[in-house]
Amino acid sequence: MSEVHVHRVQPAWKKNALIDNDTYLKWYAESVKNPDKFWGKHGKRIDWFKPYSKVENTSFDGKVSIKWFEDGETNVSWNCIDRHLKKRGDQTAIIWEGDNPYDDRKVTYNELYAHVCRFANVLKKHGVKKGDRVTIYMPMIPEAAYAMLACTRLGAIHSVVFGGFSPDALAGRIDDCKSTFVITADEGLRGGKHVPLKENTDKAIEIAAKAGTKVEKVLVVRRTGGKINWVAGRDLWHHDEIATVKADCKPEKMKAEDPLFILYTSGSTGKPKGVLHTTAGYLVYVSMTHQYVFDYHDGDIYWCTADVGWVTGHSYIVYGPLANGATTLMFEGVPNYPSQSRFWEVIDKHKVNIFYTAPTALRALMGSGDAHVTKTSRKSLRVLGSVGEPINPEAWEWYFNVVGNGKVPIVDTWWQTETGGILITPLPGATNLKAGSATRPFFGVKPQLVDGDGKVLEGAADGNLCITDSWPGQMRTVYGDHDRFVQTYFSTYKGKYFTGDGCRRDEDGYYWITGRVDDVINVSGHRMGTAEVESALVSHDKVSEAAVVGYPHDIKGQGIYCYVTLMAGEASSEALRKELVDHVRKEIGAIATPDKIQFAPGLPKTRSGKIMRRILRKIAEDDFGALGDTSTLADPAVVDDLVANRQNKK
Ligand code: WTA
C-alpha cells in the first residue's frame, strides 16, 4: 500500500458542526449498545399520528423479519410537506435547474403542498388507492417528486423506473409488481437530446400486456411538447387533470411497516429484484443521515446530482432533504452540457452549500482540465459528497483540492439500494479523512468482515462486508419473493446481512470498500448484473452463449466486457458486433452498452459445465499472466484462443 494521506478535520469544519468526534464516539457507542433506546429517541425526529411504543423487532435468522416502530402510524408526504408549512411555507423546497441553463424554477413548501395534493387527488380520482403499485417513468422535473410524494400521501406504493431504461426493462418492472397505473412525460431532455419517454411507455405497455399485466391509465406530464401517440380512454394529460381537482388532500394514516416503495435493482443472478422499503424506519433513517452526514443546517442549499430513478435520488434528493425542511436542488441535465463547467456554474448560480455526486462524473470532469473548474467561484461550498462506487484516491484528491480548494470536507458515503440510506461515511466535523476510504460506520451500524468461510476477521483485515444487526432504513423484503430476500442476503453468512462488497479495514478501524465480490458490476455508478447483460445477448438469435464481466475503466469505474459464442454457422463481423451492441441497448438501455465484445469459439468451463469467470475477468483485464490454475477446465485450449483475441491489449 502506498502511503495514505490523512486530511485532518479543519477548525472551520468543526466550528458549527452538528457532530464532533467526541459526540460521534459517544453516540456510536450508545447506538450499538442499546439500539432500542437510541432509535427510540431518534424516531421522534419525524411526526407521528400515533406514537410507537415498540422500537426494534428484527431477526436475521430463519425466515428473517425486520420491523421498526411497528405500532406507530405516520405518513411520509405529511412529514415532508405539511409539518413544515407553518414555519417555512414560503421557503424554497425544490430548486429545479433545467437541462437548458436558462430554464429554472423554484417551488416553495406551500406550492409543493398544493402540487402534491392535486397530484394525489388526480391519482385518487382514477382509482389509485392504498397498497396499489404505481410506476413512475419520468425525467428529472419537479413533477417526478410530486408523483412520488402523491403516492405516499395515499399510501400507494411507487416503483420509479430510471428514464434511461428501455421499453423491455420498463415492461419487466411493470409486470413484476402488477402495476396498472403509469406516470410519465411526453419526452425527457438531457444534454439537449430528447428522450422518448411516452413512446417507450407505449411499447412497454404492449410488452407487459403480453406478459399478463394490463396498464389501465397513463398520466402524462408535458415536458417538451414533442409529438406523441395518444390512446383515448387510457392516457391522461397531467395539466388537464390537475385543473379538475382540489389543492387539498388528507394524508392517509400509514402503519410504520406499510410498504412505501419498490425499487428494482440488479443482483448476481436472475431478473432485477424489487427492493421493498417501508414507511417509518426508512424516513427516520434517511432524514437522520441526511442531516448528520451532510452536516445540514437550516437554510443550506443542498444538491444531489443523482437521478430519482436510483435510490440516491429517492433518499437524498426527495425524502431525506424534504423531511428535514431543506432546499433541495433537482437537476435535469448532465455534467458536460452545455459545457464542462456546468456543475460548478450551477453551484455558483444557486449558491449551493452541499454538493453530492458520483466518482464517475468527477473522473470525466477531471479529464477535461482544471480550468473549467477554476474559472468558477464555488465559494458557497461547505460539504462535498461522493456515492455509488469506490472513489479512487486521485479523483478524491482532485475533488478536494480543485473543486473544494482544499477547504471543504468530502464525505465518501457507502451504501446500497437495499440499505435505504448511508451506512459507512465520514461526518464532516468529526472524522479525519483518508482519500478513498468511506471511513467509519454511521450510528447504529455494525459492520463485520468475514472470510470466504464465514470466519470473523478482527482488527486490520481484508474480507467480505457483512452487517450484523438491523438499522431502520433496511429493506424489508424482495417484493413478492421473501425467500429470494432470505436467500440473497442472509444465507451466505448465516444470521448476517451480506452486502456483496469486498472491504478492507485498516489499523484505525477505517473501512475501504474494494468493490463487488459477486457478479454485479458498477458501470458509471450504475449497478448492473452481468447475468442481465448475458440474457440480453443470448436473446439475439445469432448468439449461442455469452459471458459478461467487468474490467477496470478509467472513467466508468468498470466497463462491460462480453464474450460471445455464436450459433453454429454464424460468422463474426464488425457489423454483427454493432448489431449486438444495439441489441443490448434495446433490451436494457444505453447504460448497459457493451464496451467490448469478444467473439469466442468456446468459453472456459469446468468439467461440470460451470463458466470460470475468474479466468474471463483476468483476460478482460489483460492480466492473463495471472490466470491461475486452468487444469480443471474441460478444454484448456479455449484459453489460448481467448488470450490471443483479447480486446483490451495494452
Ligand atoms: C457500490 C448506490 C464504494 C457498492 C447508493 C455497493 C460504493 C453498490 C459506494 C450499491 C462508496 C456505493 N464506495 N462503493 N462510497 N457507494 N458503492 O444499490 O459496490 O446502486 O454495493 O446503491 O455500489 O449500488 P446501489
Q: How far is the CA of 283 from the centre of ligand 1 (A)?
A: 20
Helix (H, G, I), strand (E, B) or coil at 561: strand
Q: Judging by DSSP bridges, how do beta strands 383-387 and 410-413 pair with one another?
A: parallel
Quick check: CB of 314 below 6 Å from ligand 1? no
Question: Is residue 176 located within the same domain as residue 277?
Answer: yes
| Residue 516 falls inside a structural domain | no
In this structure, the residue with its CA closest to atom 14 of ligand 1 is: 389
Cα distance between residue 311 and residue 225, in whole Å? 29
Q: What are the grid coordinates assigned to 112, written together?
A: 409543493
In this structure, the residue with its CA closest to atom 12 of ligand 1 is: 388
| Residue 510 falls inside a structural domain | no
Query: Which residue from 293, 360, 389 has its CB within 8 A of the most atoms of ligand 1, so it is best to mutate?
Result: 389
Question: Is residue 496 located within the same domain as residue 563?
Answer: no
Cα distance between residue 454 and residue 450, in whole Å? 5
Return phi, psi of residue 277, to 5°.
-110, 150
CB 390 within 8 A of CB 504: no
Q: How far is the CA of 526 from the centre of ligand 1 (A)?
A: 9
Contacting residues for 551 by C-beta, under 8 A, at least 6 apart: 558, 559, 561, 595, 596, 617, 620, 621, 648
Question: Is residue 578 located within the same domain as residue 445?
Answer: no
Question: Is residue 562 located within the same domain as residue 594?
Answer: yes
Residue 387's DSSP bridge partners are: 413
Tally of residues, the chain? 650
| Residue 519 falls inside a structural domain | no
Residue 69 structural domain: 6-504
Q: How far is the CA of 153 from the centre of ligand 1 (A)?
A: 29
| Nearest of 150, 417, 89 to residue 272 by alpha carbon | 417
CATH code, domain carrying 531: 3.30.300.30
| Residue 180 falls inside a structural domain | yes
Q: How far is the CA of 480 from the centre of ligand 1 (A)?
A: 24
CA atoms within 13 A on the CB side of 117: 16
Q: How far is the CA of 390 from the centre of ligand 1 (A)?
A: 7
Q: How far is the CA of 564 from the centre of ligand 1 (A)?
A: 28
Residue 219's DSSP bridge partners are: 183, 236
For the CA of 424, the closest atom of ligand 1 is 15
| Residue 128 falls inside a structural domain | yes
* Residue in the block written with cell 483476460: 619
| Cβ neighbour number for residue 636 with a 10 Å cutoff | 11
Helix (H, G, I), strand (E, B) or coil at 204: helix
The pLDDT of residue 2: 54
Helix (H) or strand (E) holding 209: helix 197-211
| Residue 511 falls inside a structural domain | no
* Residue in the block written with cell 423506473: 161
Question: Is residue 252 located within the same domain as residue 387?
Answer: yes
Q: How far is the CA of 506 from the centre of ligand 1 (A)?
A: 20
| Nearest of 363, 362, 404 to residue 384 by alpha carbon | 404
CB 179 within 8 A of CB 135: yes
Quick check: CB of 410 below 6 Å from ligand 1? no
Quick check: CB of 189 below 6 Å from ligand 1? no
Quick check: CB of 360 below 6 Å from ligand 1? no
For CA atoms 356, 322, 124, 141, give the dihedral sign: negative
Contacting residues for 245 by C-beta, under 8 A, at least 6 apart: 118, 121, 122, 125
Quick check: CB of 516 below 6 Å from ligand 1? yes
Please list the rounded mean pLDDT of every run of 10 residues in the chain (650 residues): 82 97 98 98 98 98 98 99 98 98 98 98 98 98 99 98 97 98 98 98 98 98 98 98 98 98 92 97 99 98 98 98 98 97 98 98 95 98 97 96 98 98 98 98 98 97 98 98 98 97 98 95 94 96 96 96 97 97 97 97 90 93 83 86 91
Quick check: CB of 387 below 6 Å from ligand 1? yes
CB 167 within 8 A of CB 131: no
| Cβ neighbour number for residue 6 with a 10 Å cutoff | 12
Cα distance between residue 218 and residue 183, in whole Å? 6
CB 598 within 8 A of CB 624: no
Q: Judging by DSSP bridges, how do beta strands 217-221 and 235-237 pair with one another?
A: parallel
Cα distance between residue 387 and residue 624, in whole Å? 31
In this structure, the residue with its CA closest to atom 24 of ligand 1 is: 416
| Nearest of 90, 484, 538 to residue 267 by alpha carbon | 484
| Residue 93 falls inside a structural domain | yes
Quick check: CB of 388 below 6 Å from ligand 1? yes
Contacting residues for 573 by C-beta, under 8 A, at least 6 apart: none
Question: Is residue 372 located within the same domain as residue 412?
Answer: yes
Cα distance between residue 225 and residue 235, in whole Å? 15
Residue that is last in its domain, among 454, 474, 504:
504
CB 301 within 8 A of CB 97: no
Q: How far is the CA of 57 from the centre of ligand 1 (A)?
A: 27
* Residue in the block written with cell 470498500: 513
The pLDDT of residue 177: 98
Residue that is last in its domain, among 448, 469, 504:
504
Question: Is residue 90 located within the same domain as residue 219?
Answer: yes
The pLDDT of residue 649: 87
Q: What are the grid coordinates assigned to 419, written together?
A: 440499505
Question: Is residue 552 located within the same domain as residue 492?
Answer: no
Question: Is residue 456 located within the same domain as residue 577?
Answer: no
Quick check: CB of 438 below 6 Å from ligand 1? yes
Q: How far is the CA of 388 from the centre of ligand 1 (A)?
A: 4
Asked whether the ipTM of the predicted complex exceeds the cut of 0.85, the reply is: yes
Q: How many domains does the chain have?
A: 2
The pLDDT of residue 1: 47
Quick check: CB of 413 below 6 Å from ligand 1? yes
Cα distance between residue 545 and residue 463, in whole Å? 32
User: Is the peptide bond preceding residue 338 cis, with omega within 30 degrees of 0?
Assistant: yes
Q: Based on C-alpha coordinates, what's the Rg of the chain?
A: 24
| Residue 437 falls inside a structural domain | yes
CATH code, domain carrying 400: 3.40.50.12780
* Residue in the block written with cell 482544471: 370
Question: Is residue 385 located within the same domain as residue 532?
Answer: no
Quick check: CB of 520 below 6 Å from ligand 1? no
Cα distance between residue 312 and residue 317, in whole Å? 7
Q: How far is the CA of 502 from the centre of ligand 1 (A)?
A: 11
Question: Is residue 570 located within the same domain as residue 449?
Answer: no
**Angle at CA of residue 478, ends 59 and 390, nearest 5°:** 90
Question: Is residue 488 located within the same domain as residue 550?
Answer: no
Contacting residues for 26 by C-beta, under 8 A, at least 6 apart: none
Residue that is last in its domain, among 474, 504, 534:
504
For the CA of 310, the closest atom of ligand 1 is 20
